[in-house]
Structure 1
Amino acid sequence: MASRSAARPASEEEEDAEGTAPRTRGLLRALGLTLASTLVWGVAHLRVGRRWAGALLLGLFLALAAAGTVAGLFFRSDLLQLAVRPDWLTGLAAGILTLGLLWITVVIRSYQIVRPETMSLGARSAGVAGVILLCFAVALPTAWAGYSTYLYRDALTSIFRTGDSHGRPINIKDPWNGQRRVNVLLLGGDAAANREGVRTDSMTVASIDTKTGDTVLLSLPRNLERVPMPQGPARDRFPYGFTGDGPATPGLLNEVYQYAEDHPDVVPGARKNERGPELLKATISGILGIPVDYYVLVDMFGFADIIDAIGGVKIKITQPISYGLEGGVLQPGDRTLSGKEALWYGRSRTNSDDYTRMGRQKCLLRAIARQADPRTVLTSFDRLAAATKRAIATDIPQELLPAFITLSNRFNDGGQVTSLQFVPPLIYTGNPDFALIRRLAAQAVATSPESASPSASPSPSASASRSTSPQAGRTPGATSSKQPTRQTKPVSLDATCP
């Protein structure tokens, strides 16, 4: 009796083991089919004979995949233009979230139709855990994509406002209103904690050909003196050129921005934080003899945050550069600079001068543009969006962003960048020859080789500018510094960067 009694539990264990194996295989099969349906919709439905539902899901999945592939391969430029339209971004974010919810529904329903009818509590728990894991695998990337799209739209609408700031109509079919060139003033603002206001220590006009995307960079030094002011209250106050606002401001070009902010009467009708850009745009337009359409201001300290967000910037340093108050030195060589180091690389004047610094700033901007690849941007998108909102101000309207994207595409198809810096010995900043500056600017942006040559006569527009703008800073008997002919042509930006 005892032997039979002892043998009975053993036989029951064998029966349980024989029943558990099929149930385990059934659970693994169900999870495998659910995984397959997660990767390709409709697999589970087709496997259990639900042909119409399976075919519908599979067709929808293939249609979405094909549409994404075709758009990425053949309509990339159109996608880039849509990517700067807030209304489309709102729809895209909603579409991504809807897709995520639909995908999760497919995952759950696929498991429901293929799971075994009878399972132990442990098997049911394992099945539910597997489905939850698959749902998370779908939900996390779609939620991240939707959130990133929202962040991008928020940054876009924060930086770029709707409508032209001057009330000019924007024709979508001809956004440049027939202009041969669009001129954008690029400003680097130094709003340090130990100084009041903003000093625009970097001032460059990017003159862009609206047909080809070819760009000429016209750089003005921060210490240009007695610059002629635009007609109106500003010229009435400074008829012989800008002379500053007392002993603390000697009257340099980089002080015009903050002077306008502190003196609303020189830019009547402009609001706070718009007075500085408006007066500086008009002033630089008069200096160069070309219209300045828009501006972009980058705060240097916010700029450091942007560099940190993309993981630093790689650049070649040719000679030691002192930085910081602790006596730090950026050593020569191929280096990856942090935001703080890059800021000092672009700002340091120790054992150097303003003009060398201007050249380093342009090389730094070019290095960042080359290294901010899509992978880097995507992996640090939230930090980059937040830093960009803090660092950038502009009056470029949202409606023009697609047109600027088109110009960028044309430039990438073979456009060229040339640079002309109005620095010594070409221009003496203490007593500038503004007529020469306007003549060289007109030559630099000319399209024909004949008009771009140093011996060419000034264009009519340049002559008109000279006749209407006062020769600020010129004293009786003063002579212009002699300009070497070989330096009057714009040079390639690549030639100045190691």
Structure 2
Amino acid sequence: MARRRRHGLGRALALTAASALVWGVAHLRTGRRLTGAALLASHTLLAGLVVSVPFGPRPELLRLAFSPGWLAFTTAAGLLLAAVWAGVVARSWFLVRPAGLHAPARAAGACAVVLLCLAVSAPFLVAAHAAFLYRGALLSIFGSADHARAEGRANPWAGLPRLNVLLLGGDAGRNRFGVRTDSITLASIDTRTGDTVLLSLPRNLERVPMPPGPALERFPDGFTGDGPMTPGMLNEVYQYAEDHPEVVPGVPPGRRGPALLRPAVEAALGQPVHYHVLVDMRGFARLIDAMGGVEVVIPEDIAYGARDEGLLPAGRHRLSGTQALWYGRSRTGSDDYTRMARQKCLMRAMARQAEPYRILPRFQQLAAAARRTVSTDIPPSLLPAFLELAEKVKSRGRITSLPFVPPLITSADPDYGLIRARADHALWGGEAKASHKAAATRKAAASAAPTASANAARPSASPDAARPVSLDETCPS
């Protein structure tokens, strides 16, 4: 008690603050050497672990960052550290607080200690909350994916010269029933160089070849929709599968659309689809807003809305989510094919502007938006490899685009033999390289052979119309 009386209020608060910075100071000062030494050693070990994390092996750090189990551990550890640190501060104050203080002084000291406890625990509570949100988003987006495909593989792209990811934009508007995939692009990435080719199919592509099985039996001459009076466009395939489970037997609801659309795109392009990503276009606006907007150059005014009530003026602008959605969707004064070109420029702008200094401060908003916006079959265990490949694409890869639009094809009467040949040439550069493609590629092309033979006699489009063009050349900047 005598030791406690010799400490004034200011000195006691200073010792408590010192204990908040370095555990054990107050314990050592009051003669509790064993406990103080243990706290000091624990604090030193903890600090060492935190400082050493950034210098750990990058592949292992990435793997942990995308591990739901590790994120759950991080959440629990953050809560535990917050409680322990606040407990150390409170106990330190109890040991050094002066005896015989008047009520106002006791209240002032208690308030100061409570604020100090909140200050030291807040970072850990924030980190735990962020890890909890991140884990929820990870499980929501990737939770249903097949983990087994990536396990035990140090380099998942070994033996895979090109990784093909189908990017789908689903438009489930208020005036629509179900989901229509109005944006269909196969991103084919060279796993060695990062060079990427975007093969875009128009939403109004008709008579898309169906994969073998019930779908091909129902539509032997290509997809025609619900009846002979409907054209049956590509953007209807997804919802048709959801509404007609018999064409994809054994597939649960929510997965029927990709189960039919993916092989249909494979058959149309003659290229395998390894994974797919579906982005809900209404949620896409929230994703852009969470990023803080996206900057694009608009070469000429773009009117939008049912009655052209909106206008995106020409010039350089940072678009909000709603504006970016209209930029990519508006067909006023243009057509589907012009819209497809703008969508590619929007993708390019987002990829370039997704810098860590933009993403990290808005992490929680992005995680919440992505959870409601994105679905995919990419397994979480592959995300580190995807991230490294994305960095390669961004840092040194060249992104080109080949949209299958007039005059290259006619959407109402497409030549799928020509589409497959042009896609093959864009990705592989001719027969010599094509001979080295994976067996899955040849299988996809073979499944669409009947349609190809029917179109074999058609004339080809000009070489320039079928040449992949760099987005740096076509997108104003």
TM-score bin, normalised by smaller chain: 0.7 to 0.9
Return the offset for 1:272: 1.4
- CA distance in 2 between partners of 1:376 and 1:477 (Å): 50
Q: Are 2:267 and 1:286 equivalent residues in the alignment?
A: yes
2:347 match: 365
**What secondary structure is seen at the aligned counterpart in 2 of 1:224?**
coil
- CA distance in 2 between partners of 1:64 and 1:371 (Å): 35
Q: Are 2:67 and 1:85 equivalent residues in the alignment?
A: yes
Q: Which moved more, 1:136-145 or 1:150-159?
A: 136-145
Q: Are 2:123 and 1:141 equivalent residues in the alignment?
A: yes
Aligned partner of 2:366: which letter? L
Task: Evaluate the alpha carbon distance shift between residue 466 and residue 51 of structure 1 in structure 2; reply closer, same or farther with a 3 A threshold.
Answer: closer
Q: 1:480 aligns with which of 439, 459, 462?
A: 459
Q: Are 2:181 and 1:200 equivalent residues in the alignment?
A: yes
**What secondary structure is seen at the aligned counterpart in 2 of 1:435?**
helix
CA RMSD between the two structures: 3.1
**What secondary structure is seen at the aligned counterpart in 2 of 1:243?**
coil
Q: How does 1:222-371 map to 2 (within 5 A)?
A: 222-246=203-227, 249-326=230-307, 327-371=309-353
Task: Evaluate the alpha carbon distance shift between residue 399 and residue 147 of structure 1 in structure 2; reply closer, same or farther with a 3 A threshold.
Answer: same
Q: Are 2:96 and 1:126 equivalent residues in the alignment?
A: no
* TM-score w.r.t. length of structure 1: 0.84
1:221 match: 202
* Kept in 2: contact 1:420–1:489 (CA 8 A): yes
1:18 match: none
Aligned partner of 1:179: which letter? L
* Kept in 2: contact 1:189–1:298 (CA 8 A): yes
Return the offset for 1:90: 0.7
| CA deviation string 1:264-322 (max 9, x = no partner) | 11111112121111111001111111111221110100111222233322222221111
Q: How does 1:43-62 map to 2 (within 5 A)?
A: 43-48=25-30, 50-62=32-44
* Kept in 1: contact 2:85–2:120 (CA 8 A): yes
Question: Which ranges of structure 1 fall in alignment gaps of 5 or more residues?
Answer: 1-22, 447-451
- CA distance in 2 between partners of 1:410 and 1:336 (Å): 26
- CA distance in 2 between partners of 1:153 and 1:268 (Å): 32
Return the offset for 1:153: 0.7
Q: How does 1:143-158 map to 2 (within 5 A)?
A: 143-158=125-140
Return the offset for 1:55: 4.3
1:388 match: 370
- CA distance in 2 between partners of 1:211 and 1:267 (Å): 35
Task: Evaluate the alpha carbon distance shift between residue 321 and residue 377 of structure 1 in structure 2; reply closer, same or farther with a 3 A threshold.
Answer: same
Return the offset for 1:465: 5.9
Task: Evaluate the alpha carbon distance shift between residue 481 and residue 443 of structure 1 in structure 2; reply closer, same or farther with a 3 A threshold.
Answer: closer
Task: Evaluate the alpha carbon distance shift between residue 481 and residue 429 of structure 1 in structure 2; reply closer, same or farther with a 3 A threshold.
Answer: farther
* Kept in 2: contact 1:221–1:422 (CA 8 A): yes
- CA distance in 1 between partners of 2:137 and 2:427 (Å): 33
Aligned partner of 1:123: which letter? A
1:440 match: 422
- CA distance in 1 between partners of 2:174 and 2:229 (Å): 17
| CA deviation string 1:444-476 (max 9, x = no partner) | 333xxxxx26x9796486787666524549978
Return the offset for 1:254: 1.1
* Kept in 1: contact 2:207–2:223 (CA 8 A): yes
* Kept in 2: contact 1:249–1:255 (CA 8 A): no
| CA deviation string 1:411-466 (max 9, x = no partner) | 455334332222222333233222222222223333xxxxx26x979648678766
Q: Which moved more, 1:103-112 or 1:362-371?
A: 362-371
**What secondary structure is seen at the aligned counterpart in 2 of 1:206?**
strand
Task: Evaluate the alpha carbon distance shift between residue 65 and residue 215 of structure 1 in structure 2; reply closer, same or farther with a 3 A threshold.
Answer: farther
- CA distance in 1 between partners of 2:28 and 2:297 (Å): 59
Return the offset for 1:373: 4.0
2:91 match: 109
Return the offset for 1:135: 0.9
* Kept in 1: contact 2:415–2:455 (CA 8 A): no
**What secondary structure is seen at the aligned counterpart in 2 of 1:158?**
helix
Aligned partner of 2:269: which letter? L
2:467 match: 489
- CA distance in 2 between partners of 1:236 and 1:160 (Å): 32
Task: Evaluate the alpha carbon distance shift between residue 123 and residue 216 of structure 1 in structure 2; reply closer, same or farther with a 3 A threshold.
Answer: same
**What secondary structure is seen at the aligned counterpart in 1 of 2:249?**
coil
Aligned partner of 1:486: which letter? D
**What secondary structure is seen at the aligned counterpart in 1 of 2:181?**
strand
Task: Evaluate the alpha carbon distance shift between residue 416 and residue 60 of structure 1 in structure 2; reply closer, same or farther with a 3 A threshold.
Answer: farther
- CA distance in 2 between partners of 1:335 and 1:156 (Å): 32
Identity between Structure 1 and Structure 2 (%): 54
- CA distance in 1 between partners of 2:362 and 2:456 (Å): 59
Q: How does 1:162-181 map to 2 (within 5 A)?
A: 162=144, 164=146, 170-173=151-154, 175-176=156-157, 178-181=159-162
- CA distance in 2 between partners of 1:72 and 1:134 (Å): 28
Q: 1:191 aligns with which of 172, 175, 182?
A: 172
- CA distance in 1 between partners of 2:250 and 2:163 (Å): 25
Question: Which ranges of structure 2 fall in alignment gaps of 5 or more residues?
Answer: none
Q: Which moved more, 1:262-271 or 1:248-257?
A: 248-257
- CA distance in 2 between partners of 1:100 and 1:468 (Å): 59
* TM-score w.r.t. length of structure 2: 0.88
